[in-house]
């Protein structure tokens, strides 16, 4: 038995991170907070992970990437998580049915029907998942269709305003509590498309933050002022179109250098990946991922 244990391959935390697709910090956080793996220690007291640990971490990472909370996944077996991911894939396929219904409502310019479809998706999928898989997916498809001449500009505007109105109503439904950590949500200067920011505001409210939603096109100096004034813990910016990359980069450079260290900077939106190279910046690839990141951050803030 001892020989078998000796022959088992062991990996450092850096190698475990590379093999699992996670970061060393995230592995340590999940390990300490949720006990997802129990690595042995080397003679130098360094963590050592097995192949089974790598598989476990990779499986958990896949679940979190698909929008599930680590607190939910940590109590499940790998097989149970795989079954959950398979079920979600089937649900996403069903989400295409919602999109077809949305397109029919758009053709008739029926905002009430469109909102009812959104509400049905929320009931079935939950609010944040519905935002990702139905509302924002719908707008993306409409935008693509407009570029290809399938939709008219008035139809694109109608769809955008209906989605924005729905998100605004959901955001207002969250009870404001000034005792919660503050989150500031906006877009950088020159970025006038604010629906992604509106969706991010809903996610931040759902994660338990007191949200100050500023709309679009806010200069970095103003963002720094309001973050400092409110002692906000989070600044979330949506970058949908590159616009002027030089201007966006300038704004972010100012934020990186002058934003208080106590404030975390999150970037989301279809063009955010092009501006997320700084270690100061956290990239959110979906509204569900953003909410999960904010839930984890809020726990850290409260435990300080």
Four-way CATH pick for 182-303: 3.40.50.280, 3.40.50.1100, 3.40.228.10, 3.30.43.10: 3.40.50.280
Select from 147, 149, 137, 125 the least CA-distant residue to 101.
137
pLDDT score at 92: 59
Residue 27 CA to residue 262 CA, distance in Å, equals 23
Q: Which residues are paired to 40 by β-bridges? A: 48
Kindly tell me the burial class for residue 143, based on how many C-beta atoms sit within 10 Å of its own C-beta (0-12, 13-18, 19 or more).
Answer: middle
Residue 191 CA to residue 48 CA, distance in Å, equals 46
Select from 69, 75, 24, 70 the least CA-distant residue to 49.
24
pLDDT score at 280: 78
The answer to whether the 2-76 and 182-303 domains have the same CATH topology is no
Handedness of CA 56, 58, 64, 66 (dihedral sign): negative
CATH architecture classification, 79-172: Orthogonal Bundle (1.10)
SS3 of residue 218 by DSSP? strand
Q: What CATH code is assigned to 2-76?
A: 1.10.1660.10
pLDDT score at 6: 46
Residue 253 CA to residue 259 CA, distance in Å, equals 10
Residue 269 CA to residue 288 CA, distance in Å, equals 13
Q: Map tokens 């295409």 to a residue.
A: 96
Tell me the backbone φ, ψ of residue 6, rounded to 5 degrees.
-65, -35
Residue 202 neighbours by CB under 8 Å, 6+ apart = 127, 128, 131, 167, 170, 171, 174, 287
**Domain ranges in the chain?**
2-76, 79-172, 182-303
User: DSSP state, 281?
Assistant: E
What are 19's two structure tokens?
Answer: 């093999």
pLDDT 10s per residue in the chain (304 long)? 444 444 568 899 999 999 999 999 899 999 998 999 999 998 888 999 999 999 999 999 998 887 788 888 999 999 999 988 887 776 555 556 889 899 999 999 999 999 999 999 998 889 999 999 999 999 999 999 998 888 999 999 999 999 999 999 999 998 778 889 999 999 999 888 899 999 999 999 999 999 999 999 999 999 999 999 999 999 999 998 756 778 888 999 999 999 999 999 999 988 888 887 677 788 898 999 999 999 999 988 888 7
pLDDT score at 242: 59
- Give Dmax (Cα) for the chain: 72
């Amino acid at each position: 038995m001892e020989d078998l244990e000796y022959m088992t391959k062991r990996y450092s935390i850096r190698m475990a991170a590379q093999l699992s697709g996670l970061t060393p910090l995230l592995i340590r956080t999940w390990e300490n907070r949720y006990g997802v793996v129990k690595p042995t220690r080397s003679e130098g007291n360094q963590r050592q992970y097995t192949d089974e640990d790598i598989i476990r971490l990779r499986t958990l990472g896949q679940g979190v990437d698909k929008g599930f909370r680590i607190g939910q996944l940590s109590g499940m077996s790998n097989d149970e998580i795989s079954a959950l991911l398979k079920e979600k894939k089937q649900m996403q396929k069903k989400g295409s049915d919602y999109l077809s219904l949305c397109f029919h409502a758009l053709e008739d310019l029926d905002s009430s029907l469109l909102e009812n479809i959104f509400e049905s998706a929320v009931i079935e999928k939950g609010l944040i998942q519905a935002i990702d898989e139905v509302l924002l997916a719908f707008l993306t498809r409409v935008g693509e269709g407009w570029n290809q001449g399938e939709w008219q500009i008035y139809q694109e505007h109608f769809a955008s305003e209906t989605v924005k109105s729905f998100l605004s109503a959901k955001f207002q439904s969250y009870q404001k509590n000034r005792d919660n950590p503050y989150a500031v949500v906006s877009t950088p200067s020159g970025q006038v498309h604010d629906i992604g920011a509106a969706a991010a505001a809903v996610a931040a409210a759902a994660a338990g933050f007191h949200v100050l939603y500023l709309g679009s096109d806010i200069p970095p100096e103003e963002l720094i002022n309001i973050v400092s004034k409110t002692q906000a813990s989070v600044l979330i910016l949506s970058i949908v179109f590159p616009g002027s990359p030089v201007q966006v980069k300038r704004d972010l450079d100012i934020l990186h250098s002058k934003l208080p260290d106590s404030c975390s900077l999150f970037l989301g939106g279809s063009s955010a990946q092009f501006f997320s190279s700084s270690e100061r910046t956290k990239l959110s690839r979906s509204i569900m991922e953003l909410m999960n990141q904010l839930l984890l951050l809020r726990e850290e803030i409260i435990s300080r």
